[in-house]
Structure 1
Amino acid sequence: MSETTVSPSQSLPRVAPGGRLELLKGIRVLDLTTSIAGPYGTMLLGDFGAEIIKVERPKYGDDSRQWSPPSLAGQALWFLSVNRNKKSVTIDFSTAKGLDILHSIVKECDVIVTNQLPSVLTKLKIRYEDIRAVRPDIVYVSLTGFGIGGGRQNDPCYDLIAEGFSGVMDLTGELDSDPQKVGTPAADLLSGTDAAMACLAALMDRTRTGNGHFVEVSLVESMTRFLTPRVVSYLGSGEVPRRSGAKDSVIAIYQVFATADEPITLALPNDAIWLRFCSLIGRGDLAQDQTLATNAGRVLRRRELVEQIQHHLVQHPRSYWLAMCREHKVPAGPINRVDQVVQDEELLARQLFYTMEHQESPIPQVGLGIRFNKKVAGYDRAPPKLGEDTISVLKGIVGASQQEIDAYKNAGVI
């Protein structure tokens, strides 16, 4: 979208800063990550109330700042999507003086999150061993493609690569089509969530023991764990699962169907729902057929059942069937485009989508989607401009004087 195009976000509710969760109040996180996975994980910690100090390269910053179009008010929207509630500090810690500054910040932090490869961690002197020497009880979270150790530890990896390694791509799409990537950076978001979850567990243990932790998360392992039911089913049966589009190979019936106008998703995962659906379409004969009384029997006659169900569903439009399914408590739904998702009345009522106030342009956001005591997570900071908090952090946390700050600027350290 060009910056002159009217943004769909203008129709979203505008939320002023405030009301931020305080579950992690007092926890300070040093974020050395870039792109999507790491920033998403630290954003979750920020949503929970932690203070996030995002350290970026001078002049260039986080890689995702360059991922445009699309952009909004000169900022890449991919960057804006995963960096709220953060302070941005620019430090070149590949220099000795920059590393000293970084160490000064580390001393005042509870958590550090990195996504650099082990070889880079060694080169930059920010391995766990290096950081623990500065802050012994640090929770150090490493988020990489393949983990620390092993033959692939220094191989570069992005979401696409992880989806291929994990088996997800092979199981996504129609059987007679090419493997498909998931329509969102799934490995990034899953591993980022894992990083936040693991960090919380480590912090909980630290409150009991006083000990820091070295936490490893990898895109490939997070994405592979996403396939747990498929992997375990194969290991226990020897049957290699194959992609089946929107048709599940275990549950009958569990797939997409056409209606008189637009398609719907329909899930009949247990016997009670199967009977309710038979009543819905007026097929008492199917309900009374004992060969269809269990999922195993329905799987054996899946093709026949799909044809019969499809025959009924094409006789009425989607709205009719969704209303009928809801009335009979049969799981069903539309197949929404993104523009339809953000107009969903229930999601809007639950404040999942909103815009945050900003002096240049309101910034659209997808909320945390988790409530505590019925409270929606607010925010106190829009995604930061590159380095906008450098001086305040250096003065407030490092204790640097204005003369020292000027010297750092002149030397290109910040």
Structure 2
Amino acid sequence: MTNCTPDPSRSDLPYAALPHVEMGAGFRMLSGVRIVDVTTSIAGPYATMLLSDFGAEVIKVERPEGDDSRKWGPPFLDEQALWFSAVNRNKKSVVIDAGDDEGKARLIRLIRTADVFVTNQPPDVQRKLGLDADSIRKIREDIVFVSITGFGLTGARANLTSYDLIAEGYSGIMDITGDGDGAPQKIGAPAADMLAGQDAAMATLAALIDRMKGGGGSIIDISLAESMTRFLSCRISSYLGSGEVPRRSGGTDSVIAIYQPFETADLPINLGLGSDGIWKRFWKTLGDPEYGARAEFATNSSRRDHRNAIVARIQKLLLGRSRQEWLAAFAENRIPAGPINRVDEVTADRDFHARGLFYAVTSPSGNVVPQVGLGIQIDGRPSTPIRVPPYLGEHTSEILDSLPDEDTGADAAPGKTENWK
């Protein structure tokens, strides 16, 4: 990070307290990779933003009305929805109306220069627009084609439209989230979108490595419903091997005993007693080692049988001291514990700031944009942003005017390297 001083320009907004960083080169592992991204909303843009954080050049192709998420507000910042800003840094925005012949020809010329093409249209719409895998690979045979849809490119549900909410419902996650006596609950973030985006980025990296080794292009098929369902692997596997259907229980039930929130004298706390060694250290820290050493608590399995009594005992003891006192004691004795933060507390966390997870950047026009970073450290440093999220069509002339002539071919693409062919 180049500069860790807070931005004073809007002291009334939370981002003013974030470390303020200068835009730079970022990670360069994917330097020379060009991605043409025609996705909207969250999953596709998140996938390509992850790849851009590793150095890929992402050309965001938008309809004249722009990405749907540009309008997903309030809140807005600098006339753009903050949901859009959250998943579109480092990109160049090009407006192309692929519904007319001239626009379609421009898009084809652009795709010819790309290493990766990413779409999130259902397969029947992909075919209608001529942006399906077969059509794209006729434009460039060795391209990595990435499709992110609700239910995949095949199967009875393939052409159904979907959002994160729909995928969460299909996956089973909503049925095991929430209070036992309450209604099913959606996760408090677009989990299916973000997981599918991560899956798409990971698969793209694997496909690029395979192509570099001479394997040619690939067709990557990502389903929001499947990415979200895989998130439940531990719960699903437990059901398949036992026949016991998981039930929602307000976050207090787990295969691990004890693994849940508790109240303290002031604020709630999370505890994860995931091994016999932690169990013993925990009760010693509480000043009650004899209770933890009882024979009926010797294994995790037996502790599950006595969960209610154990929870009641722990809760009674934790009420005697503040959260901060308990966290200090648990940290000293290597007990997994932590606060239950609100979003404002998370973004004020100085350790996250120091590791580059939250920061603010200033655009060339002087507007400040808050960002959540990549969250991955490489060689001791986080990724540095390359540019702020683009205005609609900001780079149309720059990109389209630089395209090679129709008969020049893909090898004339600007910025391409031999390594990625």
TM-score (norm 2): 0.92
Q: What SS class does the counterpart of residue 26 from structure 1 fall into? A: coil
> Equivalent of 2:258, from 246, 253, 259?
253
Matched, 1:49 2:36: no
What residue number does 1:383 align with?
389
Q: CA deviation at 1:287?
A: 3.0
Q: Which runs of 4+ in 1 moved over 6 A?
A: none
Supply the distance in 2 between the matched residues of 1:282 and 1:375 (Cα, whole angstroms): 41
What residue number does 2:205 align with?
200
Q: CA deviation at 1:97?
A: 1.7
Q: CA deviation at 1:123?
A: 1.1
Q: CA deviation at 1:395?
A: 1.0
Q: What SS class does the counterpart of residue 66 from structure 2 fall into? A: coil
Supply the distance in 1 between the matched residues of 2:339 and 2:11 (Cα, whole angstroms): 28
1:186 maps to a residue whose letter is A
Matches within 5 A, 1:81-160: 81-160=86-165
Q: What SS class does the counterpart of residue 371 from structure 2 fall into? A: strand
What residue number does 2:370 align with?
364
Q: CA deviation at 1:246?
A: 2.0
Q: What SS class does the counterpart of residue 88 from structure 1 fall into? A: strand
TM-score (norm 1): 0.94
Q: CA deviation at 1:68?
A: 1.1
Post-superposition Cα deviations, 1:376-398, rounded to whole Å, max 9, x if no partner, equal: 10122110000010001011124
Q: CA deviation at 1:19?
A: 3.7
Matched, 1:35 2:38: no
Post-superposition Cα deviations, 1:246-293, rounded to whole Å, max 9, x if no partner, equal: 213311101010111111001101100000001011112123212211
Q: What SS class does the counterpart of residue 336 from structure 1 fall into? A: coil
What residue number does 1:234 align with?
239
What residue number does 1:304 align with?
309
Supply the distance in 1 between the matched residues of 2:28 and 2:203 (Cα, whole angstroms): 19
Q: CA deviation at 1:229?
A: 0.3
Supply the distance in 2 between the matched residues of 1:70 and 1:138 (Cα, whole angstroms): 37
What residue number does 1:22 align with?
28
Q: Is the 8 A contact 1:101 1:398 kept in 2?
A: no
What residue number does 1:6 align with?
12
Q: What SS class does the counterpart of residue 261 from structure 1 fall into? A: coil
Deviates most, 47-56 or 92-101: 92-101
What residue number does 2:319 align with?
314
Q: Percent identity?
A: 53
Supply the distance in 1 between the matched residues of 2:334 and 2:254 (Cα, whole angstroms): 23
Q: What SS class does the counterpart of residue 46 from structure 1 fall into? A: helix
Supply the distance in 2 between the matched residues of 1:6 and 1:287 (Cα, whole angstroms): 49
Supply the distance in 2 between the matched residues of 1:257 and 1:371 (Cα, whole angstroms): 32
Supply the distance in 2 between the matched residues of 1:398 and 1:123 (Cα, whole angstroms): 26
Deviates most, 380-389 or 240-249: 240-249
1:301 maps to a residue whose letter is H
1:362 maps to a residue whose letter is V
Post-superposition Cα deviations, 1:153-193, rounded to whole Å, max 9, x if no partner, equal: 11110000000100000011111111111011000000000
Supply the distance in 2 between the matched residues of 1:304 and 1:326 (Cα, whole angstroms): 25
Matched, 1:183 2:188: yes
Q: Is the 8 A contact 1:73 1:360 kept in 2?
A: no
Matched, 1:341 2:352: no
Cα 1:6–1:361 shift into 2, 3 Å: farther
Supply the distance in 1 between the matched residues of 2:11 and 2:147 (Cα, whole angstroms): 39
Deviates most, 243-252 or 303-312: 243-252
Supply the distance in 2 between the matched residues of 1:116 and 1:202 (Cα, whole angstroms): 21
Deviates most, 336-345 or 368-377: 368-377
Deviates most, 92-101 or 230-239: 92-101
Supply the distance in 1 between the matched residues of 2:204 and 2:403 (Cα, whole angstroms): 22
Q: Is the 8 A contact 1:54 1:87 kept in 2?
A: yes
RMSD: 1.4
Q: What SS class does the counterpart of residue 326 from structure 2 fall into? A: helix
1:232 maps to a residue whose letter is S
Cα 1:19–1:393 shift into 2, 3 Å: closer
Supply the distance in 2 between the matched residues of 1:149 and 1:351 (Cα, whole angstroms): 40
Q: CA deviation at 1:223?
A: 0.1
2:227 maps to a residue whose letter is S
What residue number does 2:412 align with?
none
Post-superposition Cα deviations, 1:283-314, rounded to whole Å, max 9, x if no partner, equal: 12123212211101110100000000011001
Q: CA deviation at 1:5?
A: 9.0
Matched, 1:287 2:292: yes
What residue number does 1:265 align with?
270
Q: CA deviation at 1:150?
A: 1.0
Matches within 5 A, 1:215-230: 215-230=220-235
Supply the distance in 2 between the matched residues of 1:341 and 1:315 (Cα, whole angstroms): 26
Matched, 1:393 2:393: no
Q: What SS class does the counterpart of residue 89 from structure 1 fall into? A: strand
What residue number does 1:214 align with?
219
Post-superposition Cα deviations, 1:116-148, rounded to whole Å, max 9, x if no partner, equal: 011111111111100100100000000000000
Supply the distance in 1 between the matched residues of 2:254 and 2:376 (Cα, whole angstroms): 31
Post-superposition Cα deviations, 1:20-48, rounded to whole Å, max 9, x if no partner, equal: 11000000000010000000000000000
2:130 maps to a residue whose letter is K
Q: CA deviation at 1:399?
A: 5.2
What residue number does 1:163 align with?
168
